[in-house]
Amino acid sequence: MNSSFRLSLAAAAAIALAGCSMMPRYERPEAPVPGAFPYPAAQEGPAAADLDWQQFFAADASLRGLIATALRSNRDLRIAILNIEQARAQYDIRRADRFPTVGLQANGSRVPTTSGGTATSYSAGIAFSAWEIDFFGRIASLSEVALAQFLATGEGRKAAQVSLVATVANTWLNLAADEELLVLTRQTLSTREESLRLTKLRFENGASSEIDFRQAESLYESARVTLAQLQRQRALDINTLALLVGEAVPATLETGVTTADVRLPDVPAGLPSEVLVRRPDVRQAEQQLVAANANIGAARAAFFPRISLTAGVGTASSDLNGLFSGGAWGYTVAPALLQPIFDAGRNRAGLASAQVGRDIAVAQYERAIQSAFREVADALAGRATYGDQVGAQARLVEAEAVRYRLARLRYENGVSSFLDLLDAQRSLFAAQQALVLTRLARLQNQVLLYRSLGGGWTESN
């Protein structure tokens, strides 16, 4: 058996033994939540995680356009994408550690001899730098850590998109509600302005008291206050949209819809064990747990010897011209072993830290599951009650509208006081505002349910 064959056999054996791993076997923790959601949901239709945001928001083209722009230009999402590239590069670095580094090297030296002359030598060849043969899986474990962190970063990017889609939609719904409230407030202000004008005439002609006039003036000014607040809120909505989409949004942007016009599909909830693990933030937490688990393998491997191999092959000659023609060819193999004997407890502390890190990652994963369960449960509670609330609020508006009409007739016929008319007018305006806000809350709850079930991201996005 010649020396080159023995070298090849040793290298093959080293590579085979490098498959040994000290990583604990990964097992997904049990979800610390009930087996079913507490409120019923739709039983038919595609799961939220399988429903494209273009389909969920199919009813309004302007909203889809804003979301598409945000996905293209939002800076937070751009940072999340760049984080993926950085994590990919870190993984590539760790993966490269599993292979030897090969390079060309050339040397020339001239040293004095005892006879008073000089000795010249040249050498050139291929050098294999110190390559750690991964007998105990330390490098493989670190590579697994980097891979899991890379995958976690990818899930973080998906979670960022899910959040961005929902936030743009909710801001757009806020804008639609504020526009509806502005129309309602302007109508109310016009009515109160006319009422104030008539009351002032009656007061100046002695047909009514000053208190009636001041009450009418108070209602008129309160409507102006509400108008100014809504105009400011609308401007803030536009500014928020501009930040979310990453581009300038015209101040004249209008949704062109009311909260009563918007229709969003209902989505089934399914079982927590099937639904929650599809959420990107939960999957991100699980990949971080996988990384922490793999890190234990690297910490355990630190207790065992590190074996490295340095090798080279090339030629040497005393004449530069004869380096490759008449030089002497040869090779060198220099294995090295380092066995930790005393490290002041560094390796033991490293293993303890890795084990605690895994326990922390387990707790973070379980917390992510519990938070996701609560979000879905909250959204399902809203779904179960907002319909009744909107219906009751709409009937309240109808009752207040009838009351206002009757109060006005009674006041014009001298049967009731002006105070009764103003009170009916105030109650009607408050009920109308509450109806718009309740419809808005129901729509945003539908967006919350879609987002909390993992909607807003599919593999086609």
Instruction: State the CATH number of the domain containing residue 123.
Output: 2.20.200.10
- Tell me: do 352 and 266 sit in the same domain: yes
* In a domain? residue 371: yes
Residue type, 352: A
Residue 219: phi, psi to the nearest 5?
Answer: -65, -40
Token pair 């302005």 in the structure block, residue:
193
pLDDT at 339: 75
Q: Of the candidates 320, 338, 356, which is a domain's last residue?
A: 338
Classify residue 338 by its DSSP letter.
E
pLDDT digits (tens, 9 = 90+) for 19-46: 567 788 888 898 888 988 887 766 777 8
Same domain assignment for residues 121 and 171: no
Buried b (16+ CB within 10 A) or exposed e, 180-195: bbbebbeebbebbeeb
Domain shared by 112 and 172, yes or no: no
Please say if the pLDDT value at position 147 is more than 70: yes
Q: Tell me which residue of 447, 442, 440 sits closest to 180, measured CA to CA.
A: 440
Identify the CA nearest to 362 among candidates 21, 22, 24. 24
The pLDDT value recorded for residue 26 is: 87
pLDDT at 3 > cutoff 50: no
Judge if 202 and 269 occupy the same domain: yes
pLDDT of residue 158: 92
**What are the C-alpha distances in Å from 96 to residues 13, 103, 132, 139, 309?**
20, 15, 12, 10, 16
CA distances from 209 to 43, 152, 204, 219, 417 (A): 62, 72, 9, 16, 11
398 within a domain of the structure (yes/no): yes
User: What pLDDT, on the 0 to 100 scale, is given for residue 399?
Assistant: 96
Residues 94 and 105 in one domain: no
Question: pLDDT at position 10, please?
Answer: 45
In order of 272, 359, 364, 375, 440, the CA distances from 385 in angstroms are 21, 39, 32, 16, 14
Same domain assignment for residues 70 and 123: no
pLDDT of residue 448: 94
3-state secondary structure of 97: coil
**Cα dist. 177→174, 310, 388, 437 in Å?**
5, 71, 20, 7
Q: How many residues does the chain have?
A: 461
Q: Are the C-beta atoms of residues 157 and 81 closer than 8 Å to each other? A: yes
Among 338, 363, 396, which residue terminates a domain?
Answer: 338
Number of domains in the chain: 2
pLDDT tens digits, residue range 332-344? 666 766 777 777 8
**Given a cut of 60, is residue 392 above it in pLDDT?**
yes
Tokens representing residue 147 in the block: 């891979």
371 and 313 in a common domain? no
The pLDDT confidence band at residue 165, using thresholds 50, 70 and 90, is: very high
Whose CA is closest to 450, among 33, 36, 54?
54
| 460 located within any domain | no
Q: 16 vs 32, which has greater pLDDT?
A: 32
Report residue 401 CA to chain centroid gap.
45
CA-based torsion, 69, 72, 77, 79: positive or negative: negative
Asked which of 55-69, 308-322, 367-381 is least confident by mean pLDDT, the reply is 308-322
Average pLDDT on 434-449 reads 96
Share of the chain above pLDDT 90, in %: 41
Residue 221 to residue 213: CA distance in whole angstroms: 12
For residue 137, which phi and psi values (nearest 5 degrees)? 75, 20
Does residue 223 share a domain with residue 178? Answer: yes
* Residue at 201 is within a domain: yes
pLDDT at 348 over 80: yes
pLDDT, one tens digit per residue, over 394-425 is 999 999 999 999 998 998 888 888 888 888 99
Tens-place pLDDT, residues 242-287: 999 999 888 888 888 999 999 999 888 888 888 888 899 999 999 9
Using N-to-C axis directions, what is the helix angle for 210-245 and 418-452, rounded to 10°?
20
Query: What's the pLDDT tens digit per position in 61-71?
Result: 999 999 999 99
Alpha-carbon distance 428 to 393, whole Å?
11
Say if residues 143 and 286 touch (Cβ distance below 8 Å).
Answer: no
Helix (H/G/I), strand (E/B), else coil: 67: helix
What is the per-residue pLDDT for 444? 96
What average pLDDT does the chain have? 84
Q: What is the mean pLDDT of residues 149-171?
A: 93
Q: Between residues 379 and 314, which one has the greater pLDDT?
A: 379
Note whether 298 and 314 are same-domain residues: no
Same domain for 244 and 309: no
CATH number of domain containing 227: 1.20.1600.10
Residues 319 and 414 in one domain: no
Shared domain for 47 and 154, answered yes or no, is yes
Single out the residue in 283, 314, 338 at which a domain terminates. 338
User: Sorting pLDDT into bands at 50, 70 and 90, what band is 300?
Assistant: confident
Measured over the CA atoms of residue 142, residue 144, residue 145 and residue 147, the dihedral's sign is positive
Q: Is residue 443 part of a domain?
A: yes
**pLDDT, greater one: 440 or 5:** 440
Residue 367, pLDDT above cutoff 60: yes
pLDDT (average), residues 64-91: 88
Does residue 181 form part of some domain? yes
Q: What pLDDT sits at residue 203?
A: 83
* Angle between helix 138-204 and helix 210-245 axes, rounded to 10 deg: 160
Burial of 415 (0-12, 13-18, 19+ CB in 10 A): exposed
Rounded (5°) CA angle 320-322-325 = 140
Give the pLDDT of residue 361.
93
Residue 76, H or E segment: helix 75-96
Which of 119-133, 206-220, 335-349 is predicted least confidently? Answer: 119-133
Where in the sequence is the domain holding 242, given as residue range(s)?
17-98+137-304+347-452
Q: Is the pLDDT of residue 382 over 90?
A: yes
